[in-house]
Structure 1
Amino acid sequence: MSGSNTYGFYPSASTATFVPDQLIAGNLKLVTATVTFSSGNTFVRGQVVGRVTATGDYMPCVQTATDGSQVPCGIVVDTVDASAAAQTGSIYQMGEFNSNYMTFDASWTLDALTQALRQWSIFIKTGISNAIV
């Protein structure tokens, strides 16, 4: 029979192209940790967070805060909706990140934030259009 095989189907192949979001900007090992995000916020991938000293919860890092969260110490791995209640999720504790794909409070200048994150081995790369994956 023309056009068929003994199994009644033809093998096929398809291709897909993976396009990363380009938050990751280098080959430095990524270190993550599972943390608790404070209630009342939705955290997005690439958002800079700080840790509240009294509770240990993470919240958006605002430079003018006075509760410990003013110290940037992580970058959110995946979006976490903690708007109604505290939620667990992951942060990057070490790595190289593309500033064009990060979210941070307007109280920070990029230069000041870059310097503040270095103590945690979080390195911010600026002026890059394509990250290394």
Structure 2
Amino acid sequence: MSGSLVGPAVQAETYTPDKLLLTDYPVITRTVTILAGQTIQRGHLLGRITASGKYIISLSAASDGSQTPCAIAADNITTGGSDASTGVFEAGEFNEAGVILGTAHTLASVRPALTARGIHLKAAVAA
């Protein structure tokens, strides 16, 4: 046999956990459309605009349906001048300290709507 023996290549990336997910509690994800002009970070609470079905950061003062949070952003995304698709969490158990609240929302104000959808916010407990 001629030639040299070549082993498998290994690629490494630095993993930095954000502790958004708390346990092995079942998580449900879905791909949604984010409205143009948004800069969203993983963990942002998102609301759905009733008329278009597109998602934006949930703000308490909104009146287009998005004032009620219904999902948590699974990834960072900047949409720029056009709508874009991204993944969201629609159910699961999440670290309340890892969730990013929109203007005028509090954990107490969002918890009922999220719990009704199967999104549970809990304080992380140190081991």
* TM-score interval for Structure 1 and Structure 2 normalised by the shorter chain: 0.7 to 0.9
Question: Counterpart of 2:9?
Answer: none
Alignment equivalent of 2:46, drawn from 24, 49, 65: 49
Q: How many angstroms apart in 1 are the aligned matches of 2:21 and 2:95?
A: 6
**How many residue pairs end up in the alignment?**
120
1:1-133 alignment runs, 5 A limit: 19-126=16-123, 128=124
AA matched with 1:83: G
AA matched with 2:41: V
Cα deviation 1:88-121 (Å, max 9, x = unaligned): 0010000001111111113111111122200110
Mapped contact 1:38–1:59 kept (Cα < 8 A): yes
Mapped contact 2:48–2:54 kept (Cα < 8 A): yes
Q: How many angstroms apart in 1 are the aligned matches of 2:66 and 2:14?
A: 39
Task: Pick the structure with greater CA Rg.
Answer: 1
Instruction: Give the CA RMSD over aligned residues.
Output: 2.5
**1:84, distance to aligned residue in structure 2 (A):** 2.1
Q: How many angstroms apart in 2 are the aligned matches of 1:130 and 1:31?
A: 25
Mapped contact 2:34–2:56 kept (Cα < 8 A): yes
TM-score (norm 1): 0.80
Runs (5+) with no aligned partner, structure 2: 6-11
Runs (5+) with no aligned partner, structure 1: 1-6, 9-14
TM-score (norm 2): 0.83
Q: How many angstroms apart in 1 are the aligned matches of 2:89 and 2:30?
A: 7
